[in-house]
Homo-oligomer: A and B are copies of this chain.
Amino acid sequence: MVKFENYEFVDGGVCAAEGFTAGGVIAGIKTGNTTKRDLAMIYCAERCKTAALFTSNKVKGAPIIVSKEHLKDGYAQAVIVNSGNANTCNPDGIEIAEEMCELTAQALDIDADDVLVGSTGVIGQKLDIKPIRIMIPTLAKSLSTKNCGDAVEAIMTTDTRKKEIAVEFDLDGRKCHVGGISKGSGMINPNMATMLAFITTDVAIARELLEKALRKVNYLTYNMVSVDGDTSTNDTLILMSSGLAKNSEIICEDKNYEIFENALYAVMMNLARETARDGEGATKLIECIVTGAPSEKAARAAAKSVISSNLVKAALFAADANWGRILCALGYADADFDIEKVSVELASSKGKLTVCAEGAGIAFSEETAAEILSEDEVKILVDLRDGEYSAIAWGCDLTFDYVKINAEYRT
């Protein structure tokens, strides 16, 4: 995808786009936890053309089943999301997800079919609707263009960083926006979608093109992220368009469509990247850039195999230039290429170092390598020298804290 430089980053997250407000409150959904916001709402003054992607896991959270049903007409006006409980694998999960939509619709005076719902947290424990029932009216009253930060906080689980971003750009002389928030830290190996991500825009665009852009950009961003190889049951990615920027509606894949798609890429790529950086227990972001691949499929498989390897991840935690593990991970990727042509470079803000050429090791300074790898953003540059395709994937290191977090998460 060509990057256009015709957008700039702005504040506001999902509220940067015209028409949208958001909020987040403390409902106390996870028993005993009343210190963190856990219930979020996003609302638009207009019904929005909406596209969405959901998990490919056969186990689907109840909120996903309900949201899919509500999205059948392609429109939505609000999103209600809780953290602290995934509302998944519960006998009455669907009723509870439906009630969350109905309560939201009442509070906002809109149609319940125009409300989408998301839940994240522990799987297989009953979600208590009572605290949600009590807090939804308060939450609806708190909605504001200033409160995106509260909404982000409310959707976080083991996340340590708020993932929020927005861009502004011009279409037909109108100021347009794409903004988004995202959560996700563990159980991250999206496949057709991500953990939870809510993207808004005020760009007027045909619904088919909205969906097309979402699919394409998701393919290049969230689907190229892995924290632990576990594809969640609740992955949800929603893109709502208010059309309030009042540009002439995008109805074909013209220059304006391209500008919109690139703005969407800027938002989703940054959110996806931050999801990898904030991987459970992670101390560093790993970006693997594969070039010279014989096909797009090979490039993607190779990049994703490297950032998914537990052994590569553990070596990078120790800032150890163990490139043999990188080659090993390339070797078992589901991709055809000639391993004897491969070169590997390690890079960060501290410099760049070739560690492997033509599939074999070359002499390098271990000290320089350790210095490069000690940074909190590290790049693995793989040139397959076997074609013209490329791909980027994002992951993080595997640390003691990943184990600690996941050995203790439920209890």
Let me know if A74 is at the binding interface, CB within 8 A: no
| Known A233-B328, A360-B91: A407·B315 in contact at CB below 8 Å | yes
User: A6 CB to closest chain B CB, in angstroms?
Assistant: 39
Partner of A332, one of B231, B331, B411: B231
Known A-B contacts A59-B330, A403-B398; A88 and B410 likewise in contact (beta carbons under 8 Å): no
Q: Which residues of chain B come closer than 8 Å to A322, judged between CB atoms?
A: 122-123, 409-410
With the chains together, A117 CA to B233 CA distance in Å?
46
Q: Is the CB of A359 within 8 A of B59?
A: yes
- Whether A407 and B320, one on each chain, are in contact in the complex, defined by CB atoms closer than 8 angstroms, is yes
Tell me which residues from 311 to 341 in chain A have a Cβ below 8 Å from any Cβ of chain B.
311, 314-315, 317-318, 320, 322-325, 327-332, 337, 339
Q: How many copies does the complex hold?
A: 2
Could you tell me the dominant secondary structure of chain A's interface residues? loop
Closest to A191 in B: B332
Q: Are A56 and B332 in contact (CB under 8 A)?
A: yes
Contacts of A318 in B (CB 8 A): 407-408, 411
When each residue 382-411 of chain A gets 1 if its CB lies under 8 Å from chain B and 0 otherwise, what string results?
000000000000000011101110111111
Indicate whether A324 sits within 8 Å of B124 (C-beta atoms), given known contacts A315-B407, A339-B58: yes
Bound-state Cα–Cα, A238 to B94, Å? 54
A307 to B320, CA, bound (A): 28
A319 to chain B, nearest CB (A): 9
Question: Which chain B residues lie closer than 8 Å to A189 at the CB level?
Answer: 332
Contact B59 A361 (CB under 8 A): no
The docked-state distance in angstroms from the alpha carbon of A107 to that of B399 is 47
A317–B58 CB distance below 8 A:
no
Task: Give the CA-CA distance A187 to B325 in the complex, in Å.
Answer: 9
Identify A320's interface contact among B231, B315, B411, CB under 8 A.
Answer: B411
Which residue of the partner chain B has the closest CB to A404?
Answer: B400
A89 at the interface (CB under 8 A from B): yes
- Whether B59 lies near A124 (C-beta < 8 A) is no
User: Which residues in chain A, 134-162, are within 8 Å of chain B measured between CB atoms?
Assistant: none
Assess whether A295 is interfacial by the CB under 8 Å rule.
Answer: no
Shortest distance between the CB of A19 and any CB in chain B (Å): 36
Contact B59 A230, beta carbon cutoff 8 Å:
no
Q: Which residue of B lies closest to A398 (CB)?
A: B403
Which residues, 19 to 54 on A, are CB-close (under 8 Å) to B? none
CA distance A266 to B122 in the complex (A): 40
B406 touches A403 (CB 8 A): no
Is B89 within 8 A of A356, CB to CB? yes
Instruction: Contact check, A124 vs B323: say whether CB atoms are below 8 A apart.
Output: yes
Inside 8 A of A411's CB, which chain B residues have their CB? 318, 320
Q: Is A229 engaged at the interface, CB distance under 8 Å to the other chain? A: yes
Shortest Cβ distance from A85 into chain B, in angstroms? Answer: 11
Q: Is the CB of A230 within 8 A of B317?
A: no
State how many angstroms separate the Cβ of A118 from the closest Cβ of chain B.
16
Q: Which residues of B contact A90 (CB under 8 A)?
A: 360-361
Contacts of A288 in B (CB 8 A): none
- Output the least CB separation between A57 and chain B (Å): 4
* A332 / chain B contacts, CB cutoff of 8 Å: 56-58, 189, 191, 230-231
A349 within 8 A of B: no
What's the Cα separation between A387 and B372 when bound, in Å? Answer: 53
22 contacts between A and B (CB under 8 A): A58-B330, A58-B332, A58-B339, A59-B330, A60-B331, A90-B361, A122-B324, A123-B328, A125-B324, A187-B311, A228-B310, A229-B310, A230-B311, A230-B328, A232-B328, A310-B310, A314-B403, A315-B406, A317-B403, A318-B407, A398-B406, A400-B400
Question: Given A230-B329, A398-B403, 6 other A-B contacts at CB below 8 A?
Answer: A57-B332, A187-B311, A191-B332, A231-B328, A320-B409, A402-B403
